[in-house]
Structure 1
Amino acid sequence: MYQVSSTFLILRLKSRLRPGTTQQAKKVGLITTTDISKLWMDLDEIWWSGQVKTFQHAFELQYGIGYKISPETTETEFNVIKCFQVNGTKTTPIYSQPIFPDTSSFKFVGMDHLKGRKCELWRNVTYGGGRKQTFSLWVTDDGDGVEPLRYEMIGVDTLLDSHFDKYYIDYDNFRKDVDPAHFHKPKGMKCVGFPGPGVEHHLLLNPIAELMHKPAHMHGLFNHFKRQHGRTYMGHENEDRRDAFVHNVRFIHSTNRAQSSFRVGMNHLTDYLRNEVQSILGHKPSPGPNGGLPFPAKLYAGVEPPENLDWRLYGAVTPVKDQAICGSCWSFASTGTLEGALFLKTGKLVKLSQQMLMDCTWGFGNNGCDGGEEWRGYEWIKRHGGICTAESYGSYMGENGFCHYNSSEQVAQIENYVNVTSGDAQALRIALFKHGPTAVSMDAMQRSFTFYENGIYYEPKCKNKAEEMNHAVLAVGYGVLQGKPYWLVKNSWSTYWGNAGYFLISTKDNNCGITSDATFVVLK
């Protein structure tokens, strides 16, 4: 969970004189048309001792540039600090969320007192849609330059694009002496695009969102949720999380009233922002064939798989894990099918390292927390003679790390991997029956999936083409419940999600694309 300890802003200011005395005009002129061009945050215990650094530069190019400084290990380089960049586009610009208003239309009202301080009150009144809107800004000058104290909006939220209501933003710990060097990427470092499909994944999460007032009972429910999950938020982040929480709870109640084949419920993601949920969808499909073998349908022509199968009952599935706020789902799906294959070969269940795949497979096109594909991990394992266990490599961090391993500790050598025929449900059943847990991808973008709790999931809004998949999971079985066939799938969003980390999904119409992009491995 992101815990913002402090936020500093560098503002590009354009002064414009206001009616009134020279002194007043000079004061307000320091905070008139404000364009936040850079945002720097100090995130305690998030960036793993400086291994990863991120920058948002809205002022570069037409739509901004996002940068990530991260260690990269390829076939020719080992743990080299590299700079990767994503250029903003018209539809997905890189920008810092504005938290100061454009004061060009504000007028001086008079002196006031706020938070025990003497201040000036400036106001802008507009009319639109049959409604009066009032925007008020309190500023003070203690002899060291103008400092904003509060911005109040009675109307449409002009900063955060929200609906008509009453909003206010308090500015605490405002600073004007931040070293500009904090906002510059290292000198002499050339930045390039991501080497694989993660190039389209936004590097940074916008840390500021709506600040909205909600009914008291929702506030109480949110406080209970925080206590239950051991979360503590300070200042505006608490407002931000509460707003997301309220919207999600309303969605959950509305969805359950529809009485579909599944239920949704509150889980540990209930206070997540949508862009945070999207950041854990790390399957980034690339066009064209991979190096895997086609599914040998003729070989299994006479095979009749059982009506129900659950590899958990045979001990072939390791416990559910939590990928955290990191687009590493592809590494969990990859290791999941490897763990199953190794169990079928040796009779022993061994936990394999997702972190190793995240750290070491950049040279094959994976991008760590910024996404990847399962088959790229298989290719690396084939080339390097296996994968380390989770115990020998080290714990999962939920962030990119330095590649390190002892080849003598590697297990699960891959002979090849197989692409299950896309869209063929019977082929996937046979693959599961003959080869164990199978890596599959899906469209997990729908909010109904985020809050899935139990039942057979079916979402008509889901996409099902291979190139539209965005999340990698592990199919561990299938069956029929009350006459409805389903796939049994393991997720990597912790046991707090779904049915102890698992979900059932309908086989109807290849819902959410479970059969569109499935793979399993064949060990030596």
Structure 2
Amino acid sequence: MTLLWIACCLGIIYLPYSEIEEPFEAWYNATGKESRIDYYNGQVKTFQHAFELQYGIGYKISPETTETEFNVIKCFQVNGTKTTPIYSQPIFPDTSSFKFVGMDHLKGRKCELWRNVTYGGGRKQTFSLWVTDDGDGVEPLRYEMIGVDTLLDSHFDKYYIDYDNFRKDVDPAHFHKPKGMKCVGFPGPGVEHHLLLNPIAELMHKPAHMHGLFNHFKRQHGRTYMGHENEDRRDAFVHNVRFIHSTNRAQSSFRVGMNHLTDYLRNEVQSILGHKPSPGPNGGLPFPAKLYAGVEPPENLDWRLYGAVTPVKDQAICGSCWSFASTGTLEGALFLKTGKLVKLSQQMLMDCTWGFGNNGCDGGEEWRGYEWIKRHGGICTAESYGSYMGENGFCHYNSSEQVAQIENYVNVTSGDAQALRIALFKHGPTAVSMDAMQRSFTFYENGIYYEPKCKNKAEEMNHAVLAVGYGVLQGKPYWLVKNSWSTYWGNAGYFLISTKDNNCGITSDATFVVLK
């Protein structure tokens, strides 16, 4: 089977394990040593010019938004080297090892099925290609890869590419980058550049750059894995990096990026989502809307600027987010009362509130922590109780060292954005819950987060965080929220999230405390 040396087509890349469906348009000229692939309807354009310089040049043209520029089209370039040359990127796999399997039907068309099966390291990879041949050259319909761990009989990878509107006539002008456009080097570490420059290459059975990036990630984060765990971590890393790069090519209102969670398995990410809502009302007071009827909160508010917010912490692999949200609103309330910022103990709430329905690292609710503090006359500081461990511990405390006695706690009217603004304005940082199950949130980096897949009903919330302000950026209103996944996550541990449609449920289950 011989595929055309010069061709162009439309297509969609399907990455089920990365939750991605990405449209592309590709042009390929093997004889001219040039190719071009556009993603998401031309939002991102990549050019591979193997004929330039000794080892080729790759270009990427995409919008860039900074603090001073908004959606400015920029050109980035990478020069090939002897060890990592730039080559024209085929839009089909190398078929030299494929064998004819038989005739098949796909998309209502009769076609040939060709297959290449490889084995290595206890893994089986099956590459399948469906093509038609009308006598004037082979036309691809679908390329699919399925990876199976033969030891565990489980799938570690799957993706496929559907081809459409296949054309044999290619205008040479498509391979030329825009005239007069100045191209600069890629920002950030070089190990990731080739994946950003030519993302489809990894799917054409050229995983070297991805494996190199994983090794760099392990060194960067001081992680060492052996045997099967290394393969599992690498698989998770590959799926997550594919998701990150594809999401950024889609040019949404926020960016995602690699962080310390990039090699986490999905069940590990779920384990740090520890908000466990229970049905029925709690013992909190309703929000006093009439009391604040004439209050007009400012357009922008950031309690960090007033010294009311303690540094970002890391809950580790422990579903203790509820304890961080609880102490966060307490710390803010205590600051408003005394003018002093005191770090309070999350570990104390984890260790001591089991009798009130919380379950330490296995999750809980903020209001149950408030109830315990009300009953027992306060909470210890982090200094007096001891360091946060990221594990359940033995309850121990000296009542003489407790601070922040709670008079009551208030449930902000569910779904009422104005009520939450007033609560933040009048009472300081406020505990909120959200749906953080989406992969886009796991790898949030900056910008205003908006995820249509998010749920927003109170009973569907799974993560507790701390709202510390709100504002408007480029005409889009947002909540300013503190997470507890370390400063390596998000924007130094914080994120902006759109107020539109109560995205991810930020206003669905918010509480603040009133101190004695």
TM-score higher than 0.5 here? yes
**Residues 288 and 338 of structure 1: CA distance in aligned 2, closer, same or farther (over 3 Å):** same
CA contact (8 A) 1:443 1:469 kept: yes
Matched, 1:375 2:352: no
CA contact (8 A) 2:444 2:489 kept: yes
Looking at structure 2, the residues matched to 128 and 408 of structure 1 have their Cα atoms a distance apart, in angstroms, of 64
TM-score by length of 1: 0.62
Of 206-215 and 174-183, the range deviating more from structure 2:
174-183
C-alpha displacement of 1:228 = 1.2
CA contact (8 A) 1:330 1:371 kept: yes
C-alpha displacement of 1:442 = 0.1
The superposition leaves residues 226-250 of structure 1 with CA deviations (integer Å, 9 ceiling, x where unpaired) of 1111112222211111111111000
SS at structure 2 position matched to 1:298: coil
CA contact (8 A) 2:236 2:262 kept: yes
Looking at structure 2, the residues matched to 160 and 133 of structure 1 have their Cα atoms a distance apart, in angstroms, of 14
CA contact (8 A) 2:360 2:392 kept: yes
CA contact (8 A) 2:315 2:486 kept: yes
**Residues 362 and 211 of structure 1: CA distance in aligned 2, closer, same or farther (over 3 Å):** farther
Structure 1 unaligned residues grouped into runs of 5+? 1-27, 32-39
Looking at structure 1, the residues matched to 412 and 110 of structure 2 have their Cα atoms a distance apart, in angstroms, of 70
Of 448-457 and 162-171, the range deviating more from structure 2:
162-171
Of 246-255 and 97-106, the range deviating more from structure 2:
97-106
Looking at structure 2, the residues matched to 196 and 151 of structure 1 have their Cα atoms a distance apart, in angstroms, of 32
SS at structure 2 position matched to 1:203: helix
Select which of 50, 74, 80 maps to 1:82. Answer: 74
Looking at structure 1, the residues matched to 273 and 11 of structure 2 have their Cα atoms a distance apart, in angstroms, of 45
The superposition leaves residues 110-165 of structure 1 with CA deviations (integer Å, 9 ceiling, x where unpaired) of 99999999999999999999999999999999999999999999974456565598
The percent of aligned pairs where both chains have the same amino acid is 98
CA contact (8 A) 1:86 1:200 kept: no
CA contact (8 A) 1:52 1:70 kept: yes
**Residues 306 and 232 of structure 1: CA distance in aligned 2, closer, same or farther (over 3 Å):** same
Matched, 1:410 2:402: yes
CA contact (8 A) 1:52 1:400 kept: no
Tell me how many residue pairs correspond in the alignment: 488
C-alpha displacement of 1:347 = 0.3
Of 236-245 and 158-167, the range deviating more from structure 2:
158-167
Aligned CA-pair RMSD: 21.6
Structure 2 unaligned residues grouped into runs of 5+? 1-9, 29-40
The superposition leaves residues 34-84 of structure 1 with CA deviations (integer Å, 9 ceiling, x where unpaired) of xxxxxx999999x99999999999999999999999999999999999999
C-alpha displacement of 1:320 = 0.1
SS at structure 1 position matched to 2:374: helix
Of 235-244 and 318-327, the range deviating more from structure 2:
235-244
**Residues 168 and 222 of structure 1: CA distance in aligned 2, closer, same or farther (over 3 Å):** same
**Residues 324 and 430 of structure 1: CA distance in aligned 2, closer, same or farther (over 3 Å):** same
SS at structure 1 position matched to 2:278: coil
Looking at structure 2, the residues matched to 360 and 199 of structure 1 have their Cα atoms a distance apart, in angstroms, of 46
C-alpha displacement of 1:215 = 1.2
**Residues 172 and 250 of structure 1: CA distance in aligned 2, closer, same or farther (over 3 Å):** closer
Of 118-127 and 152-161, the range deviating more from structure 2:
118-127
**Residues 159 and 406 of structure 1: CA distance in aligned 2, closer, same or farther (over 3 Å):** same
Task: Give structure 1 regions of 4+ aligned residues with deviation exceeding 6 angstroms.
Answer: 28-31, 40-45, 47-155, 164-214
CA contact (8 A) 2:44 2:249 kept: no
Select which of 4, 14, 18 maps to 1:41. Answer: 18
CA contact (8 A) 2:124 2:149 kept: no
CA contact (8 A) 2:380 2:403 kept: yes
**Residues 92 and 404 of structure 1: CA distance in aligned 2, closer, same or farther (over 3 Å):** farther
C-alpha displacement of 1:522 = 0.2
Of 183-192 and 327-336, the range deviating more from structure 2:
183-192
C-alpha displacement of 1:335 = 0.1
Looking at structure 2, the residues matched to 259 and 144 of structure 1 have their Cα atoms a distance apart, in angstroms, of 38
Looking at structure 2, the residues matched to 414 and 325 of structure 1 have their Cα atoms a distance apart, in angstroms, of 29
Of 154-163 and 496-505, the range deviating more from structure 2:
154-163
CA contact (8 A) 2:12 2:162 kept: no
SS at structure 2 position matched to 1:150: strand
The superposition leaves residues 338-382 of structure 1 with CA deviations (integer Å, 9 ceiling, x where unpaired) of 000000000000000000000000000000000000000000000
